């Protein structure tokens, strides 16, 4: 049975999600007040009993937390992540690698990885507002799957947004090897290497969750 919530993306306090997972999920702009608050309270589970002893976690619970963490890092709904997994397991190749490729190839994630925005949520907003182009054509679909050779760029309007301009000026950005960037445009130059996925998620547990 498919529930309405399966299609909905969480819109509540993002710090609550990170505290639930006990990890910084990259949902807040580094250096901001809310990010600093998160780091101070990261080990406090949300809810009135947050400081009390946690219950023993079952194998299912551990797998669930891994799945939830992956979903929240990329800002997906339950249904979206389930669809990505279903497509990955049906295709030929390593299921985990294929899943990560699909997630990393999302346009909103590419904008984030290129350093054009502080968070994936901010990148998604840029795409939704028509401020991102793929191969010189406006693209308003955050889930668009980037392909090798695609050139992703920001509109003139986006470049003038103060916080975007400040990010474009940063010189210490470390790009993944599958992306190249020049000024306000970037290019997908190769397929994603699974070894470069540095998010703190035990991906095998995600597979085990969906394999139940």
Query: Do 28 and 120 form a contact (C-beta atoms < 8 A)?
Result: no
Are both 72 and 128 inside the same structural domain? no
Note the pLDDT tens digit of each residue in 55-98: 567 999 999 999 999 999 999 999 999 999 999 999 999 999 99
Are both 125 and 113 inside the same structural domain? yes
Are both 95 and 163 inside the same structural domain? no
Q: Where is average pLDDT lowest: 8-12, 90-94, 153-157, 194-198? A: 8-12
> What CA dihedral angle connects 11, 154, 186 and 144, to 10 degrees?
50
Are both 57 and 112 inside the same structural domain? no
Higher pLDDT, 31 or 204: 204
The residue segments making up the domain with residue 67 are 4-102+198-210
Can you give the CATH number for the domain in which 142 is found? Answer: 3.10.290.10
Query: Do 115 and 175 form a contact (C-beta atoms < 8 A)?
Result: yes
Alpha helix stretches (DSSP H) within the chain: 14-21, 33-41, 59-73, 78-90, 95-104, 107-113, 120-128, 156-159, 162-168, 203-210
Spell out the residues 6+ positions from residue 124 whose beta carbon is closer than 8 angstroms to its own.
75, 108, 142
Are both 14 and 83 inside the same structural domain? yes
Are both 21 and 81 inside the same structural domain? yes
- What DSSP designation does 183 have? T
SS3 23: coil
CA–CA gap between residue 139 and residue 126 (Å, rounded) = 10
Interval 3-8 mean pLDDT: 50
Can you give the CATH number for the domain in which 43 is found? Answer: 1.10.1050.10
């Amino acid at each position: 049975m498919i529930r309405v919530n399966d299609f909905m993306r969480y819109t509540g306090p993002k710090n609550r999600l990170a505290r639930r997972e006990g990890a910084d999920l990259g949902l807040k702009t580094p250096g901001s007040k809310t990010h600093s608050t998160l780091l101070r309270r990261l080990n406090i589970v949300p809810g009135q009993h947050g400081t009390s002893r946690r219950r023993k976690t079952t194998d299912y619970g551990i797998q669930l937390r891994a799945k939830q963490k992956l979903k929240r890092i990329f800002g997906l709904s339950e249904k979206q992540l389930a669809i990505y997994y279903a497509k990955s397991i049906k295709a030929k190749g390593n299921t985990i690698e294929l899943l990560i490729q699909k997630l990393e190839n999302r346009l909103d994630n590419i904008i984030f990885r290129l350093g054009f925005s502080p968070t994936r949520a901010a990148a998604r907003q840029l795409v939704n507002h028509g401020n991102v182009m793929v191969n010189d054509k406006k693209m308003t679909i955050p889930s668009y799957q980037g392909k090798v050779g695609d050139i992703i760029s920001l509109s003139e309007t986006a470049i003038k947004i103060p916080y975007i301009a400040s990010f474009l000026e940063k010189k210490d950005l470390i790009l993944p090897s599958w992306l190249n960037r020049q000024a306000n445009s970037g290019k997908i130059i190769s397929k994603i290497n699974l070894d470069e996925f540095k998010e703190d998620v035990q991906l095998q547990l995600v597979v085990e969750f969906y394999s139940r």
